[in-house]
Chains A and B, each alone.
Chain A
């Protein structure tokens, strides 16, 4: 009969089943019996003595595993001396010696189980956390990218007079190509999305339009077939494509004959000429299709003021430094601004090393993490040192006796080192297993903010580092007390006994514990600040209500919907059908989804204001186009006026809805409704430029778009899709659908898919996501920082509590006799307990003060990563002090109780 077991039992079971693997292979045949045995034993242990019972069963099990490894499985039947038992081959004498030492060491460690377990746990936590973090950092940051000479790869963009970074204007790029002397290769690319059809199901893929030199810049050759050649950079190139190995495997079953055959992209036939190896992750790790630039060159705007999402990537010549390349490009930009003042005044070129561009985003978080790991490592070391010192101390007399009986110093040192090595290996092994598990969990949670996360896995080098650390800690902490205690002055040790020697060691332990507490305070303050910051972030005014809103994207192939009317009609039908779907409270379409990344920006001006020019800088706005239902589905608040509706057609008056920030910026306190604004126009030279005015019909609350933090102060305009901005007319955007569900939004997914399919089965629906999850993603990085730092802080607190508690318990044990005398003389238990309390207050108090002071000095370092919280937030500091005081009280409780319950008779009789 299986019944639900309590969590501790299940946990203990899992642990026990793991430990069973440690039995010698001769016992393999009995494993099922052993498991049954353990299940019964754990159930009984839990029933009779709860968690302690479980713990005892587990220690018994470990002891049994060690025992069977030691003397072989099971006992011999008879203790009758047999010739075999007397055999003692000469060669195994040395092994016997080691064996004896090991056995002795194990017995020693088992005789002080709490100390040994504390030391092993300390090691496991420290080594585990360090290894896990090192693995992630090493593999995603330190390990060079697969591109040969990646440090010479540079990303080039343009920057306008306002300091805004822009993509590259096509004619400017051509001039860079012709005039630069710094780059061995210079390529151009644009990210795009394509629909793959013609096989079992339609799929939207990340693609990139690339010039041939993008491949030569990355230095990666095709795994099969070829990459693009210079002939593919001109319009005469054929319709060819290169695909990723991943796409080749997942969608085409790794068919060898795919090369030189056709696939359907955006409804057109493309010949596959090459397959790229998995290492090719440029421009992004999602890129599955590369198309030649030449096919699209004719569509690139030839005007230098137009920055159509093109990016340049180059490889520096061996002999050219980054500084020289910057001077070179600055000179070119200067020439261009003189030549084309209208478009290029104050426009400069920015060169960012590719590695920098990939990692700059997460570097601060990583540095924070490494700092936290370093602190934890220090705390762990302090704790371990303190524990080993306590152990060494308690063995003072024993060692003195052994030395008196003729044990050589080398022998004693060997014995002590062996013991700490055993501890280190046990702790290290648990730590490494824990780290492997932690990394697996981390990868499974797949935070998109960590680059190359999919490549992370525990590897050999990391293991070497971890084992190195383990050995180092064993030698460090093993040897120091070993020499200290083995240098015992025999006579004094034997004369005075254990109790009164080692006062200086106690002081050292006190200092170590104070350091531990101080470091823990530092981590706690960090965790507290990030938690507060995250809370602030969660309370950010979004401008919309994510609950029950579901969004997804469509890609409408131009080939199938070539005209504007076909495009508008498709979307009109779609909106009508979505709105009529049961379970849908509101539905609509838009070119931009809040927090999903990406947007179109432009200048914005009131009617009658001077036109934008290099001399007159106007405000910038983010523009989008859609239907009212989209914004209603998202719960965007209409403050004044109305949304667009059926009255607003291609031929009616051009209208626009604006956000409150735009209203305030352009119109102050005046009513913007009925006023006219423009964010685009026709004609590119300043004399011919004609702004296209639209009448404001509504004002909505500002919608958070780019992210929860650091939202740039941009203004927003919303246009009806029937009156699309001209910029979008040229390149009609893939639209997003939003529906607000009356019930569970996830339940609507398949319904929406079938609604789209009923209109056109060849249109892929992708990026299905609730707005709630977009909001979560936007706070992913801060949440990651908070959780990791929080975990470290908890570990640090646990270690500090172990440390404090250990020192106090040891002090009580040392003073048992003194306490007995005091009690015999009439001291009350309360007074005795307060003795312990006073020591705890001293240790924790000093640690707290030092820690708070250090935190005060250090918290500025993370100021950039905080949101809405000052680094010296008094609430955080007060909270940390409170947590620490509670923890310290907990740490002092047991030793204090033990001190208070000392029986004076027993205490005085002892010794």
Chain B
């Protein structure tokens, strides 16, 4: 089963951390990436640019309308994600707890919908 691990973060949060703590976050991600590659659980991951770089696209009257800035007004934004494939939701939660940002903010664990299904 695949899970999306979402890192929600206030974009200014990192500025408040000490250099040492910031380095620890980066090192923590490196370690987790290495672990996921070794265990064969890694499907993908990405760090996302600051929300200031976001464009929001809507289609109205069949024409795209593009505005600058994020869709949802919030303090916390999606800062990055991992997609993992693992045996149980418990394991997915265990992996989420290894994301270094979990110490400062919260990680969401969302199951990814499967493309297969049983006839009923």
Q: Do A and B come from one complex?
A: no
A residues touching B (Cβ–Cβ < 8 Å)?
Answer: none
